[in-house]
Each structure stands twice: as C-alpha cells, then as structure tokens.
Structure 1
Amino acid sequence: MKAAVLTAPNEISLDDIVAPVVSPGDVLIRVKAATICGTDIRIYRGKKTAGVRYPSVLGHEFAGEVIDGGGHEGLKAGDRVGLCPFIACGECHLCKTGHENLCTSGTAVGYEIDGAFAEAIRIPAQAVRAGNLRHLPDHMSYDEAALVEPLSCVLNGQNKVGVSSADTVVILGAGPIGLLHTYLARLRGAARIIVSDPNQHRRDAALAAGANAVVDPRSDDVTARVLEETGGRGADVVICAIGVPALARQATDLAAFGGRISLFAGFSKGESAEMDVNAIHYRELTVTGAFGLSRKDYDRAFDMVASGQLDLGPLITHRYPLAEIGEALATAEAGEAIKVVVHND
C-alpha cells in the first residue's frame, strides 16, 4: 500500500510499504481523511523527538472506513469511524486518577504506531476494547470527524483554566488551534474574546469564528489593546495557542488579578521562557499546561460536532491527495492555510 514514510528529520516520501499486519482483535481501517497537525510538522522537522521512531508514518487526526472489524461486536466492514488516537494503558496511577492523557505507558498513533498518512491504518485491539473508536453518524463527514481530535485537546485545555460565560478570553495565535479555542470559547458563552495574530487572513478567520476583537501584534501594543478592551482590568483567561516562548511572558502581562494562563501549545525541545514571577505571585495568577486528550475529551468533542453545536467545516481551507503529501505539509507549514486535509478518495 502507499504511505508517506518519515525516514529522518526533514525526509519524507510516498512509498510502497507492506500493508499492516493485523493480529487477532485488531481493526484495519481505510483512511478517508487525515488533517495535518502542528505536531506532525514539529516531528517532520526534528523539533519533537520523544517517542519518535524511524521509519514511521505520521498522522493522528483522521477518520475512515472499516476494512476488517477484527471480530468485534458492532464493528463491520464499511462502518464509518473516527478514533481517539492516544491509547492509555488503563492501569497506571495516572489513568486511575483521571489523567489518562498523561499516561507514561500509553501509545500514540501517528509515530509510535504508524499513522494515517497512508491508505490504511491498523488499530490495536486494546484501543478498540477501550472504546477509542466512534461510529460516525451519516451526516458527519470524514473531514469533520478528523477535526474532533484537535478539538478534544482544546477542550482539555479550556477545562484546565475553566473558561466560562463570565470570562474575557485572550487567545494568542489564530492558527488552527487558536481558532478552535475561539469556537469553543464562544460556544461556552465567554463574555469577550480577543485574538492576537500577525496574519490578516487568520485574524479575519478569528472574527468569523466568534472573536469580538482582533489585534495585529506587529503594529499594535497587545497589552495596551487588551487593557483598553477590558477597562484596564486585563483578561480572565489567556491561552498561548502557538509555541512561541516569548508569549509566555506576554501572557502574564495580559492576565487580570486572579487570571488563568494556559500554556497550551507545544514548545520545541530545549526551549525555555521567561515569566513575570512577581505578577504570578501578587496577582495570584494560575499557570497551567495542557497536553493531549483523554477518551472522555474525545467523546465530548465528538458529540459537539455530531450534534451540530460546532461547525468546524470553515477551518478546512486546503485538500490534497496522499500522493501530494509533500505539498500538503509545505502548505500547512507556510501558515497561509488554516487546516489541511490529506485524503484518499
């Protein structure tokens, strides 16, 4: 079968590889749509190396059609499905205390297990038994289903900082993740949403997604603008939706007394950031990270999309066939696209 194989940092090519070997209970899925994540780009460029093996097949945001249901009840060839792509062990202290997204014995689809930038993907029996697969309703497209995974991560992040209807939320970065944060904050009834991004196209997308105001950090003083928009109070919640270390310091400048800061985006290995520790202390700021997703996050995000509470279709701006994986990655990395889908029609 055809697959985009990563053999080393910056080296990926479309190759013929042996189809996945399916053990008893495993499920084989024909990939129909896989979206490109910032993590895929970081792995491709060698900026994320933990757990990455070579050669491997990237791609963890996807949906597809069952080829072999592995003998599981209620799962048969032709079924349309999406997947929560992190397979927690279910046995460790973290899993048992409600933190399965942090499970250190878990397995990530997309590099530890070959991922979805391929014609087909094997889902281990353990993931199927744990409930990681969800059937798509007829009205839910493969493209929409692929976006459930990043929405799940965003949901995890917003739960960590408790975004609610009384909040002014500032989102730093209007890439795909920043826009998903905008959509979700609007759904949660945030009182005011302010988004900062240097890209005009993405600022426009943020307004369309529900932002009340946008800021160009190249020409505007973001802190002054946020204080102006909030009557001098600052933001209840600040979300760093892009992995730029300098934004961590900016977040402490933007947060109101008692504010909450989410260092949501992943940073490259070895990077560090300066934060205003006096602001954290005297203004009683809460600073939290947010990593990955749990099956509970995935199920809640899936239901939001399936029920029509969130329409994520406008996020998809570019579609490429698997044969053009190089162009697809380049488009996603260039920053002009919002969400890029790799498809097998």
Structure 2
Amino acid sequence: MNDLPYAMLAAVYRGKDKVVLERLPIPTVGPKEVLIKIEACGICGTDLKKIHFGLVEPPRIFGHEMAGRIVKIGEEVEGWEVGERVAVVHHVPCLCSDCPYCRRRAFAQCPVYKQTGTTAGYEPAGGGFAQFVRVMERCVKHGMIRLPSSVTAEEAAFIEPLNTCLKGVRQAHIQSEDVVLILGQGPIGLLYTQLCRRVGARVLVVDPLASRRALALRLGADVAFATTEEAKSYLTQNAPTAGADVAILAVANSNLIQTALDLVRPAGKALLFAQTYLQDFTQIDAGAIGMLEKQLLGSYSGDITLLQETADLIFRHDIEVQPLISHRLPLSAVQEALALASHPSENTLKVILQPWA
C-alpha cells in the first residue's frame, strides 16, 4: 500500500501512571520486517503493572495482544503479502539447540525471547497501543499467524493471552478428571476455565463478582464460589482428598499464594500465573512443600511451539473469546480504557482498543 499517512496516533507511556496520546512518525521497516496496521489490541494486566508501578523507563508504547493487516513488507520478506490479516506475538525465542533454555522448552527465559520483537517507536515494548506496528525479523518468521476471514481482529487479539494460558495448563500437567480450582475469573481466569474443562478436568472457580461467576458457569465451570472459604468448605465435603489436584492463581494478589497451597491436596500443585514482576514477596508454609509434597509452580508468558495450536482453538471456536470482551474503545479514549481495565467492576472484562475507530 502506497497511500500510508505520514504520521500516526500512539498512546505513549511517559512515566508512572502517565500515558499520553501523541502523534508520531509511522515506523520504518527494514528489509526483513513488516508494518502492520493495528485493528484491535487488548489491554493486559502486565501493561497495567508497568504503567502503575513504573516498572520500566519511559518513553514506551505498550500493547501486545494485537491483530491487524499487513500494509508494508520489506524487500527480503518471503511468504507474506500486503493486505493479509494477521495476529502477531511480540516475543520469539532463539530456538537454538545450544540455548540451555530453549533446549528445555523454558522459552520465556531465553535471552533472545526477552528482546521484544515488535515496536511502534522508542524502546520496543509491544506497540499495539498505536495505529501501526513494526514487526522485526524473528517475529515475522515465527510470531505471525495468518487469520481466516471468519475470525475478527478482536478475536485474534486473544491468541497471545490464550497461548500463555495453554502453556500454563501444560506446565501443570492438568489431566482429565483432575479437580482444578481457579482463583480469579477475569479474562485470563475464564480462558483457563475453558482450557481445563476442555481437557476433561472438573473446574471450580472463585471470584467475588457475581457476573464473572455466572459467565464462568456458562463457559464450563462446574461450581463457582464468591470466596475461598466457600471453596474450602466444598472441597472438604466433596473432594476425596479434601483438596484440589491443582490450584491456579489467575489474579495478581500474591497474598493468595498460601491460600492456593492450602486448597490443594497433599502432593497437589499450585500454579502462579499472575505474579509477573520481581521483588513481589510473600510468606508461605515451607512445610506444605517439604512435608506435604505440594508443588509450587510458575508459568510466565507464552510458548511459541503452541502458537498455531492456540490459534486453531480460537479459529474453531473451541475456546470462546467474544463473551470475554466487555468494552471496545478508540485509541482517543485510552485513559478511559486503562481506567476500566485497572479497576474492574461487575461489567468489566477484557477491554479492547481499536486504533482506527
């Protein structure tokens, strides 16, 4: 496309709790890169943490749950055409046989993976909170998914977060007939609910918001509780071991780590998903891990080898994502969008930015 504008709108992080809508030059692409016109980008909890806690140096343009259309291709790019609709992930590992992390499938710890491969300007940080994004070589090769016409951009924006959840399910080795307790039924918790149900697990969920509990039941949860105390009482009376086989912590409250451990049976597993920054300290009962052999696991970011499988789950509607979208807002309303995502209420789930709305 030769009719690209000279500038674009972007929501620029300028410091702790400060995101400003600015007009910037459209990124220039190199010979092995592509330029994507962003049609939808979800707001993720990790974006919010960086903004509210000032975890990285400004300026940056966040946003990584993104999908759009290719509008420019570098002269050495093969296999892609201008006009194709794609979803893109912003982290791709080196996939080298001599990388100690890739060899062990610990892709998120690979030094290359940690180098963000998409940007709308400044230090690469995703870039989906802008109208155009530059996709670097390694993400062009391994991090782009072609979209069928039956899938909308906002549905495709869930490929990245669903990939992280599928990785977590595999990390915890969740199996048919496991009793899985999921703490939190925001967008991530609801994705976990559907994935665990799909493998045949019995799914119990906890969330204080009645609307989220109702949606969880509609999407496959067996029982929904307003409090962890209710969940504990139920497990005591109904689970053969008086505890869950696996507990998934899908909320960022690290004070609930001990609660998750308490709610799993001896030799059960507690999976931490939402603990995504360092120096996040809490106290736990070491005896529960040592003597009771409970496992405390972590799962962070995605698994590139599961990317196509993840996309197919959405393409076939095996995992429903449309019910998870509560708000669609233009980039000009980014402040409202961030506020909604940061302070969820009964009516708030996934907030989608539509840069061209």
With structure 2 as the length reference, what TM-score do the two structures score? Answer: 0.90
**2:317 alignment partner in structure 1:** 308
| Larger mean Cα displacement after TM superposition, 59-68 or 302-311 | 302-311
Residue 256 to residue 174, structure 1, CA distance change in 2 (3 Å): same
Q: Secondary structure at the match of 1:25?
A: coil
Alignment of 1:122-271 (within 5 A): 122-129=134-141, 131-190=142-201, 192-217=202-227, 220-231=229-240, 233-271=242-280
Q: Which amino acid aligns with 1:121?
A: V
Q: Which amino acid aligns with 2:157?
A: A
Q: CA deviation at 1:115?
A: 0.9
In structure 1, how many angstroms separate the alpha carbons of the residues matched to 2:135 and 2:220?
A: 36
Q: Do the aligned partners of 1:35 and 1:61 also contact (CA within 8 Å) in 2? A: yes
Q: Secondary structure at the match of 2:306?
A: helix
Cα RMSD over matched residues? 1.7
**2:128 alignment partner in structure 1:** 116
Q: Which amino acid aligns with 2:22?
A: D
What do residues 113-171 of structure 1 show as CA deviations (whole Å, max 9, x unaligned)? 45110000000022212x21110011111111100111100111111111111200000
Q: Do the aligned partners of 2:254 and 2:275 also contact (CA within 8 Å) in 1? A: no
Q: Which amino acid aligns with 1:162?
A: H
Residue 78 to residue 173, structure 1, CA distance change in 2 (3 Å): same
Residue 326 in structure 1 maps to residue 330 in structure 2:
no
Q: Secondary structure at the match of 1:45?
A: helix
In structure 1, how many angstroms separate the alpha carbons of the residues matched to 2:102 and 2:277?
A: 26
Q: Which amino acid aligns with 1:304?
A: L
In structure 1, how many angstroms separate the alpha carbons of the residues matched to 2:126 and 2:217?
A: 37
Q: Do the aligned partners of 1:27 and 1:68 also contact (CA within 8 Å) in 2? A: yes
Q: Do the aligned partners of 1:3 and 1:117 also contact (CA within 8 Å) in 2? A: yes
Q: Do the aligned partners of 2:38 and 2:66 also contact (CA within 8 Å) in 1? A: yes
User: Can you give the 5+ residue segments of structure 1 that lack an aligned partner in the other structure?
Assistant: none
Q: CA deviation at 1:231?
A: 4.5
With structure 1 as the length reference, what TM-score do the two structures score? Answer: 0.93
Q: Do the aligned partners of 1:36 and 1:341 also contact (CA within 8 Å) in 2? A: yes
In structure 1, how many angstroms separate the alpha carbons of the residues matched to 2:343 and 2:70?
A: 33
**1:296 alignment partner in structure 2:** 305
Q: CA deviation at 1:268?
A: 4.5
Q: Which amino acid aligns with 2:137?
A: A
Q: Do the aligned partners of 2:93 and 2:110 also contact (CA within 8 Å) in 1? A: yes
Q: Which amino acid aligns with 1:217?
A: T
Q: Which amino acid aligns with 1:77?
A: V
In structure 2, how many angstroms separate the alpha carbons of the residues matched to 1:199 and 1:42?
A: 22
Q: Do the aligned partners of 2:162 and 2:191 also contact (CA within 8 Å) in 1? A: yes
Q: Which amino acid aligns with 1:282?
A: M
In structure 1, how many angstroms separate the alpha carbons of the residues matched to 2:238 and 2:207?
A: 16
Q: Secondary structure at the match of 2:232?
A: helix
Q: Do the aligned partners of 2:29 and 2:73 also contact (CA within 8 Å) in 1? A: no
After the TM superposition, list the runs of 4 or more consecutive aligned residues in structure 1 that deviate by more than 6 angstroms.
none
Q: CA deviation at 1:332?
A: 0.8
**1:37 alignment partner in structure 2:** 44
Q: Do the aligned partners of 2:235 and 2:244 also contact (CA within 8 Å) in 1? A: yes
Q: Secondary structure at the match of 1:4?
A: strand
Q: CA deviation at 1:267?
A: 4.6
In structure 2, how many angstroms separate the alpha carbons of the residues matched to 1:322 and 1:277?
A: 46
Residue 11 in structure 1 maps to residue 11 in structure 2:
no
Residue 85 in structure 1 maps to residue 84 in structure 2:
no
Q: Do the aligned partners of 1:236 and 1:259 also contact (CA within 8 Å) in 2? A: yes
Q: Secondary structure at the match of 1:279?
A: helix
Give the number of equivalent residue pairs.
339
